[in-house]
């Protein structure tokens, strides 16, 4: 379990690395045609794009903290982001990793229920929440899209509860690798040598394990020939079916 490291926190990079006011619509959002913009026509898209600002984060930079006023929602254009919650003594639970195309910042209360931090350098589209809410009144399509996103997240959250509450370390690691492979495939990236861009600590905090256990379990799977640990944080799924079997049918 990771205990909050105050020394490290004070050394963190500044909150927002760079920020650009951009008159053109968020290229990645419209090009990819994903996330909240997906169901919109060009006129609607222009209205949404007018609200948007680009944000750039360097690895390790926080986007916002739990409890902070939830003024914006975001679309992650590229990079990897983690969202997490802390206990008062610093124990951390990473509740999710976000990748290119993912949506972030849904909140009913007016404060964020979790913190968000860049794992790798990130590009995001930012929308002021109240303006987007005004727009939603006139464009139910956005609301539909948001409901669909929330429903999918809810399904994923329940899956993760099953993992945290009932799976062994071995099953957790196998599930984690399968999840990374699936998500990479979804956004059209290579899924066999899986790129594991996050640290053992982040993985441990996501799976409810310690770094040591994460490391030992990777080693164990490697020795069994189920995976190969390649350079540059890549993992080859040597026996994909075996891994899927261990993951527990999910």
Cβ(242)–Cβ(226) below 8 Å: yes
- Say how far apart CA 6 and CA 143 lie, in whole Å: 40
Closest C-alpha to 99, from 196, 174, 16, 24:
196
Q: Work out what residue 158 binds among its own copies, DNA, none; the CB cut-off runs from 5 to 8 Å by kind.
A: its own copies
Binder of its own copies out of 205, 217, 226, 243 (CB under 8 A): 205
Give the residue with the Cβ less far from its own copies, 166 or 233.
Answer: 166
Residue found by looking up tokens 């009913």 in the block? 108
CB atoms within 10 A of CB 133: 13
Question: Which 161-220 positions form the footprint of DNA (CB under 7 A)?
Answer: 168-170, 199-201, 208-216, 218-219
Q: Sketch the per residue contact string, 113 through 132, with its own copies: x for CB under 8 A, - otherwise.
A: xx------------------
The two structure tokens encoding residue 35: 């996330």
Residue found by looking up tokens 């004070």 in the block? 10
Q: Is 24 helix (H, G, I), strand (E, B) or coil?
A: coil
Tell me the number of residues near DNA by CB under 7 A.
22
| Binding region for DNA (CB under 7 A) | 1, 11, 168-170, 199-201, 208-216, 218-219, 229, 231-232
| Binding region for its own copies (CB under 8 A) | 1, 85, 87-88, 91-93, 95, 106-109, 113-114, 140, 143-144, 146-148, 150-155, 157-162, 164-167, 205, 207-208, 248-249
């Amino acid at each position: 379990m990771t205990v909050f490291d105050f020394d490290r926190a004070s050394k963190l990079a500044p909150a927002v690395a760079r920020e650009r006011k951009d008159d053109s619509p968020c290229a990645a959002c419209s090009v990819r045609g994903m996330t909240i913009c997906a169901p919109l026509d060009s006129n609607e898209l222009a209205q949404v794009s007018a609200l948007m600002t680009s944000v750039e984060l360097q690895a390790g930079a926080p986007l916002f903290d739990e409890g902070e006023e939830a003024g914006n929602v975001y679309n992650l254009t590229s990079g990897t982001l983690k969202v997490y919650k802390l206990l008062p003594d610093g124990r951390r639970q990473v509740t999710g990793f976000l990748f290119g195309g993912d949506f972030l910042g849904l909140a009913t209360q007016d404060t964020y229920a979790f913190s968000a931090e860049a794992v790798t350098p990130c590009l995001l589209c930012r929308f002021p929440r109240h303006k987007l809410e005004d727009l939603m009144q006139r464009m139910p399509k956005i609301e539909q899209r948001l409901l669909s996103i929330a429903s999918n997240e809810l399904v994923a959250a329940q899956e993760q509860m099953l993992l945290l509450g009932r799976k062994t370390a071995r099953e957790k690691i196998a599930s984690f690798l399968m999840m990374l492979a699936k998500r990479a495939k979804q956004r059209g990236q290579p899924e066999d040598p899986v790129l594991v861009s996050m640290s053992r600590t982040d993985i441990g905090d996501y799976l409810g394990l310690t770094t040591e256990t994460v490391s030992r379990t990777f080693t164990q799977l490697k020795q069994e020939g189920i995976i190969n640990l390649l350079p540059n944080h890549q993992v080859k799924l040597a026996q994909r079916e075996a891994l899927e079997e261990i993951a527990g049918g999910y």
